[in-house]
Amino acid sequence: MAMADLGARCRSALSQHLADPLVLVPLVVLDSLCFHPFPDGNVRMAATSRGWQEAAHEIDPWLACFWGALLGDYKEFEERVGSIERGRGAKGARVRSQILKRQRPFSISEIVEACPGISRDRVRVILRAMKAEGLSRRTARGARPSGSGWMQVLKAWGRTIDS
């Protein structure tokens, strides 16, 4: 019953714009964790929930922890997905960017995995174009268990460098 009441109060506060969702949501999470604390005696929860039943607990440490975790996850998400671009050439630019970041030989599967929404065939087309431009080369046909190996071609002072 207490969890249902907590949910109803949260929805009401959100609909009335009584608090910013970035403040309200972590507080609802804190309250639900205080209802059902971790059985392992989570130290951060113990420190944060002290005085919770009397509404005398400190929420600042919890908000800092929650926002820190949220920000860290967002940064990781941003690194994995990158900025989503639309328009002509955006997919090709994402694939090229992934290839140019690679320091070691890679497989087509690794590029496909790093570029969600881009087909294996599209990656092959871009790799062939980059090979024609002298920006990538095959390491060996079928030498890797995961498929053909490729690598970025590094250039310095007009010379090709094999890493």
DSSP strand E in 74-152: where?
106-107, 136-144, 147-152
Confidence bin at 61 (pLDDT 50/70/90): confident
Site of tokens 């570029």 = 115
- Indicate the average pLDDT of the chain: 76
Confidence bin at 57 (pLDDT 50/70/90): confident
Mapped onto helix, strand or coil, the DSSP state of residue 160 is strand
Domain range annotation of the chain: 2-81, 90-161
Q: Compare 145 and 27 and report the one with higher pLDDT.
A: 27
Residue type, 140: A
Q: Compare 142 and 152 and report the one with higher pLDDT.
A: 152
Element (H, E) at 161: strand 159-161
Site of tokens 């607990």 = 57
Confidence bin at 121 (pLDDT 50/70/90): very high
Prediction pTM value? 0.42
- The third-level CATH classification (topology) of the domain covering 90-161 is Arc Repressor Mutant, subunit A (1.10.10)
pLDDT of residue 48: 62
pLDDT of residue 163: 44
